[in-house]
A and B are shown apart, each in its own frame.
Chain A
C-alpha cells in the first residue's frame, strides 16, 4: 500500500481575501432564516479564453491532476455588428427568455455564463437552470461558467439601499468590463490583431444605458439576433421580451384576477381554507377542469376561464371553494375550443375586448348553469372552485399547428411580424399566441412551440416557436410530433453510449471455456430444452421457458430472462441513457429502443440455436401448480426454438408431435391454466383494452387494414409464467432489501370511481357492479353480460378499466407492506423482472436479484432510497408516455388506413352528453364523438337530454347509453387546419 502521507499544499499558496455575505432565506414552512456565509475571493480563476496565455496555468489542478482546458475559442464567430468576433455575456433575463436560442445548434457559441447569472437563473426556474448546466457541458457550444463573485477583481458588494437586482446588474457590467480589458491585454501580449468584443446581452433598458455609459459593448436581445444570419428563424425563439411587454402594459386591461402571494397560499393550504392539487382539463370540455384534492373524495370542478385563471392542464394550483349556491353538476355538454373561438383575432386583443370570456363562451356556459340549476332539486351539484394561484407550472413544449384563420397575410415572402394562434394537438391546452415573421412558411406544418408566460392582461398564453417538424399529415412529421408530445427520447444513441458496448460487436459469443470469468457463478443450463414464445417477428426476445417432469411427479419449470445487467453496468453512459429513456417505445411502424440494437436484438436477445447468458428462475411445481421451491441463478442457455404464439399453439395442439420439447410445452400449458385459475379465484381482474393490429404492406409500410388482436392460449401461457417469475423475484428482492427493493404496486381504486358506472349499469341494464374488493369486482364483472350481445361484457370491462388507478413503480421503503398490493393481479407483492431489454425497472430488479443471491455486490445507486425514488418517478412517467405514444401512433395509422374509405360498422354508445354522444367502434378500437349539430347539418337540433336515464332524444330518434347502433365511419380533413380526423355519423 502506498503511503497516505503526501503534501498537497501548493508551492505558491494563492492568496485569498475573505469576505462574507449575509442573506435572508424563507423556508417552505414560512420560517425566515438568516444565513451567513464566507466568501474566499481569489485571483486564480481563469478567463478561459484560448487567446490568453496568462490564464493557462492559473487554475490549480484537481486532486487527480486534471486541469480544464480553456473553453472559449480564440477565433469566435463574427456578426455584422461585431466583425472581429465576439464573446457573449447574457444577463439573467436573456437566458430566461431565450433559452431555445442559446440551445440552437448554429447560434450562440462562445458564451460566458456568469456565476451571478447562473445563480439568478436557478432562483427563477430550475428547469431552465438544468438546461443551462447541460449547455455548459456541451463541448461544441463552448459555454464557460465564470465565477465572477469569487474573483477579487469582479466581486461586487451590495451597497446600502441598492436592490439585489441592481447589484447583480452591476456585477454583470463589472465582469464585462474586466473581461474587456483582460482580453485586450492578452491580445497585446500575443501581438495578434483580432480582439473579440465582449458583448453584454440584456433587455433591461437601464442596464443597457449604464453599460453604454461605462463604455461597454452591450446589446438588446432582438438587436443582437437581428444581426445574425437566418435572423427570422432565430428571432422566433426569443420569447416576447420584457421591453415589448412593458409597452403593452400601459394600455392593457387586466382580464384575469391577480394570484395570491405564495406565502398566503401556503398558509391557506396549511390552514385548510385553500386546497392544492394538479389541474386537469376535461378532454370533452376545454372550459371545465377538475382537481383532486386530499380533503374531498370527489374532484373539485373549475368551470370557465375566469375561474381557471390562467391555469394550464398539468399545473399544480391552489384553489378556493366557491359558495354553495355556485355549485354545479359536472358539465354534460361537449365544448371544443375551435368551435367557440374560431374567429378571434390574435393580433388585436383589446379590440375584440370582451374580457376573458367571449360572448359565445358565456352563452355556452349560461346554458350549462341553467341546466344545472334545473337539476339541483334532483340533486348532484358538486363543489366548484376557482384558482387563486399556481404553485408550479408544468409547461412543456407543445406540438401543434398554426391556426390558418389567425394569419393575416399568407404570402410566403411576407416577413412582417405578426401574431398568430397556435393550436396544440393536446385539446386540453389552450391556444398559444405567438409572434413570428415566418407565418407564411409555417402554415400547414407541424410545429413545436413553448409557452413563455401568461400574464393577467392576456386572454391566451404567450409563447414562441422552436422549430418546424414538417408538413402536416406526413408520416415523418406526425411521428416526430407524437414522440415530442409524449417526451420520448428518439435521437440516435450518442457515441459515449455506443462505446459501452462489447468491442466484439455481433461476433460476441458466450466464452467456450467455462473457466472464463464470464462463467463465474453461472449454471450451465445448455442441456435444458428451452424455447421462446413471442409475437410474430419479435427480435428482442426477453424471455424463454422450459418444463420437464421430475421423477417425483412434480415439474421443474424455468423462466429464463435475458441477462441484460451483464452488459449494462450501473452508472456508465449506456446505463444513464437507458434510465433516462426508461422503456422501449413501440409505435406501429417504429421501435424506439431503450438499449442499443446490438444488445436488444442480438447479444441479449435469447435467440434460438445460440448460447446466451440468462438470468433464470427455476421452480419445482407440484401437480396443482403450487410452488414447492424456487431458486434464482445466472445461467447459460441455448434456446431450441423461437415460436410465434400461433405456431406454438399449433405445435401443442398437434397430437402427432410427441418430442420432448413439445411435451414440455404441454406441461407448461397445463400448469399455466392452473395458475390462471388460481389467480382468478383470488380475485385477479381480467380487464380488456381494445388492442388493434395494423396490417401493413412491408415495403411501403402503408397501412392496409386494421384488425383487432386475437388472444390465444399460448399468450396466456407466457403471461402466467412471467407473472409467477415477477412475483417470486419481488418476494426475494424484498426480503434481501426491505428498504430499497424496486417493486410495482397497483392501488385499489377509491369507491367513488365506480359510482357513475355502477349507476349507469343499474339504470340501463339492471345489473349490479360491486367494487368493495377486487374479487367482488371480478365476479360482478363476469355477471355484466347481455345475452343478445357478447361484446357488451368487453365494453363494461373497458369502461371499468378507466375507473382504475394506474399501477406504479415504487421503492419498498416508501410504503407500508399492505400498500404493496397489486390490485389488478391480486398479488400482495409484485415487480417487473421479465423484460430487461425494454424496461429499465426490470434491469434494476435484475441487479437487485443478482446482489440478493450474492452473485455480485449491489451498486451504491441501488442502496440509496432517494436515488431509487427518483428512478421510479422517472420510469413511471416514461411508462405512461410510452403507452400514450403507442396509442397515438395506432390512432394515426387507423386514420391513414381509413383514408378515403367510407365504412359502416357496429358501434356502442359509451357516453352521453346533452349535445352529442360518444360511440366506440370495436373493430377499429376507436371512439368518436357524434354531435347533434353535425346531424342537423351544422345547426343545433332540438333535443331532450335525460341525465337520469342516460338518454338523448332528438327528432324521432332516441339514443341510449350502451345502445348498439350502426355508424358510418369516414375520414375528413378539417377545413382551416387540414388536419385529418375520423368522423363518425349515425346511419
Chain B
C-alpha cells in the first residue's frame, strides 16, 4: 500500500513527488498517421492518446440531406481495454464516454470556424491507449493538435487541464491547497474539475466537475486551472511550432 494523498500535508508533496502547481510531463507529436487528414499523439503523464481527424467532408451517412449551414463536429472515443488498471472493455455506448464525446464536440464547435464548411462533417477519433488521470483534458489537447495538423481553421487552441483540491469534500480543511493536473490516483481520492480555455486564459470553453467541493475552495481551483491551461497552451504552441519548423526544413 503506497502512501496516498493524505500525506500531502506532511511536506506539501504529492503522491508522485510533484508540488501543488506543477504539471506532469507533457509530450506531443503531430502528423503521426499519414493516412488521416490530421493526426496527433499526446501524453500527459501516463495518459496517452492517439487522435485522428477526418474532414471536413460530406457526411457519409446516406438518407436525409444535411441542410445545416455549419459543419458538424463528430467525436468518437475508443478506450482500449488495456488502458486502465483493470482490463475492462468499455462499450461505445458507455454513458461516460458519450458525455465526453459531447463535451469535446461542443467545445470545438465554439472555436472552429464551422460556418466555412456547411453541409459537412469533421470527425475527431480519439484512441485512449493508457489512462492515468486528466482523460478529458488530454483528449481535448490531442484533438487541438490533430485539428491544427488537419488544417481546420479555428480561432485558437483549446488547451485543457485538471485542477483538484488536497482535502476531500467532507473535511473542512481551511488550508487545502489547490492541485494542478491530478494523476489517476489523485483523481480517485480528491475532488477535481476539468477546464479548457482558448486565447490563453481569456475564454473558458470547457468546465466539467463531477465531484463535490466546498464553494470557498472553488475559486482557488479555477484560478490555478486558468493558469494551468495557459501553461498547457504554451506547450501545445511549442509542439506546433516545432512541427512547423520540421515541415519547412524538410521541403
Chain A residues at the B interface, C-beta cutoff of 8 Å: 4-10, 14, 16, 18, 20, 31, 33-42, 44-45, 59-60, 62-64, 66, 68, 115, 118-119, 122-123, 133, 136, 145-147, 149-150, 570-571, 859-861, 863-864, 866-867
Contact A7 B172 (CB under 8 A): no
Would A5 and B170 be within 8 Å (CB), given that A33-B85, A45-B11 are in contact?
no
A296 to chain B, nearest CB (A): 33
B174 to chain A, nearest CB (A): 9
Contact B177 A62 (CB under 8 A): yes
Count, A-B residue pairs, CB within 8 A: 119
A929 to chain B, nearest CB (A): 46
A736 to B212, CA, bound (A): 20
Contact A38 B24 (CB under 8 A): yes
A911 to B220, CA, bound (A): 67
B226 interface hit (Cβ, 8 Å) = yes
Contact B18 A864 (CB under 8 A): no
A45 to B13, CA, bound (A): 9
A10 to B171, CA, bound (A): 29
The 6 closest A-B pairs by CB, nearest first: A150-B17, A864-B170, A40-B17, A4-B223, A571-B172, A867-B170
Query: Could you tell me the dominant secondary structure of chain B's interface residues?
Result: loop
Contact B13 A39 (CB under 8 A): no
Contact B172 A38 (CB under 8 A): no
B185 interface hit (Cβ, 8 Å) = yes
Closest residue of chain B to A860, judged by CB?
Answer: B170
Task: Please tell me which one of the listed residues B11, B171, B224 contacts residue A63 in the complex, with CB atoms under 8 A apart.
Answer: B224
Residues facing A in B17-48 (CB within 8 A) are 17-22, 24-25, 45-46
A861 to B227, CA, bound (A): 31
Closest residue of chain B to A63, judged by CB?
Answer: B177
Q: Given contacts A6-B223, A9-B231, A68-B12, could you give 6 more A-B pairs where the C-beta distance is less than 8 Å?
A: A33-B86, A39-B16, A59-B11, A59-B12, A118-B7, A122-B1
Counting chain A CB atoms within 10 Å of each CB, the highest count among B7, B178, B230 belongs to: B7
B201 interface hit (Cβ, 8 Å) = yes
Chain B residues at the A interface, C-beta cutoff of 8 Å: 1-3, 7, 10-13, 15-22, 24-25, 45-46, 85-86, 132, 169-172, 175, 177-178, 180, 183, 185, 201, 212, 214, 219-220, 222-224, 226-227, 230-231
Contact B21 A10 (CB under 8 A): yes
19 sampled A-B residue pairs with Cβ under 8 A: A6-B226, A7-B227, A8-B21, A9-B227, A38-B24, A40-B16, A59-B11, A63-B21, A63-B178, A68-B12, A122-B1, A122-B3, A123-B1, A133-B7, A146-B11, A150-B17, A570-B172, A861-B172, A867-B170
A147 to B12, CA, bound (A): 10
Contact A571 B12 (CB under 8 A): no
Contact A38 B25 (CB under 8 A): yes
Would A4 and B222 be within 8 Å (CB), given that A66-B175, A860-B169, A864-B170 are in contact?
yes
List of A residues within 8 angstroms of B222 by Cβ:
4
List of B residues within 8 angstroms of A63 by Cβ:
20-21, 177-178, 220, 224
A5 to B223, CA, bound (A): 6
List of A residues within 8 angstroms of B10 by Cβ:
133, 136, 145, 147
Closest residue of chain A to B19, judged by CB?
Answer: A60
Would A64 and B227 be within 8 Å (CB), given that A18-B25, A39-B16, A864-B169 are in contact?
no
Contact B18 A16 (CB under 8 A): yes
Contact B22 A40 (CB under 8 A): yes
Closest residue of chain B to A18, judged by CB?
Answer: B25
B9 to chain A, nearest CB (A): 9
A119 to B204, CA, bound (A): 40
A41 to B22, CA, bound (A): 13
Task: Please tell me which one of the listed residues A4, A16, A118, A867 contacts residue B22 in the complex, with CB atoms under 8 A apart.
Answer: A16
Would A9 and B172 be within 8 Å (CB), given that A36-B46, A59-B12, A860-B214 are in contact?
no
Counting chain B CB atoms within 10 Å of each CB, the highest count among A10, A38, A63, A866 belongs to: A63
A851 to B124, CA, bound (A): 48
List of A residues within 8 angstroms of B220 by Cβ:
63
List of B residues within 8 angstroms of A119 by Cβ:
1-3
List of B residues within 8 angstroms of A20 by Cβ:
46
Closest residue of chain B to A44, judged by CB?
Answer: B19
A150 to B18, CA, bound (A): 9
Would A861 and B178 be within 8 Å (CB), given that A6-B227, A68-B11, A122-B3 are in contact?
no
List of A residues within 8 angstroms of B177 by Cβ:
62-64
Would A40 and B18 be within 8 Å (CB), given that A5-B226, A9-B231, A136-B10 are in contact?
yes
Closest residue of chain A to B201, judged by CB?
Answer: A5
Contact B17 A39 (CB under 8 A): yes
Contact A62 B12 (CB under 8 A): yes
A59 to B185, CA, bound (A): 24
A700 to B126, CA, bound (A): 82
Task: Please tell me which one of the listed residues B3, B19, B219 contacts residue A4 in the complex, with CB atoms under 8 A apart.
Answer: B219
A248 to B201, CA, bound (A): 69
Closest residue of chain B to A31, judged by CB?
Answer: B86
Contact A147 B11 (CB under 8 A): yes
Contact A115 B19 (CB under 8 A): no
List of A residues within 8 angstroms of B19 by Cβ:
14, 44, 60
A974 to chain B, nearest CB (A): 46
Contact B21 A37 (CB under 8 A): no
A36 to B12, CA, bound (A): 22
A145 to B9, CA, bound (A): 11
List of A residues within 8 angstroms of B1 by Cβ:
119, 122-123
Task: Please tell me which one of the listed residues A41, A115, A860, A867 contacts residue B3 in the complex, with CB atoms under 8 A apart.
Answer: A115
Would A41 and B17 be within 8 Å (CB), given that A16-B22, A18-B25 are in contact?
yes
List of B residues within 8 angstroms of A44 by Cβ:
19
A726 to B132, CA, bound (A): 48
A210 to chain B, nearest CB (A): 25
A5 to B227, CA, bound (A): 7
Contact B224 A8 (CB under 8 A): yes
A175 to chain B, nearest CB (A): 14
List of B residues within 8 angstroms of A68 by Cβ:
11-12
Contact A38 B85 (CB under 8 A): no
Would A9 and B170 be within 8 Å (CB), given that A40-B16, A63-B178, A64-B175 are in contact?
no
A7 to B201, CA, bound (A): 11
Closest residue of chain A to B86, judged by CB?
Answer: A33
B119 to chain A, nearest CB (A): 39
List of B residues within 8 angstroms of A45 by Cβ:
11, 13
A861 to B201, CA, bound (A): 34
Task: Please tell me which one of the listed residues B20, B170, B212, B226 contacts residue A62 in the complex, with CB atoms under 8 A apart.
Answer: B20
List of B residues within 8 angstroms of A37 by Cβ:
2, 15-16, 46, 132, 183, 185
List of B residues within 8 angstroms of A42 by Cβ:
17
B5 to chain A, nearest CB (A): 13
A62 to B183, CA, bound (A): 19
List of A residues within 8 angstroms of B201 by Cβ:
5
Task: Please tell me which one of the listed residues A34, A59, A861 contacts residue B85 in the complex, with CB atoms under 8 A apart.
Answer: A34
B89 to chain A, nearest CB (A): 16
Closest residue of chain B to A862, judged by CB?
Answer: B170
Closest residue of chain A to B6, judged by CB?
Answer: A133
A547 to B176, CA, bound (A): 49
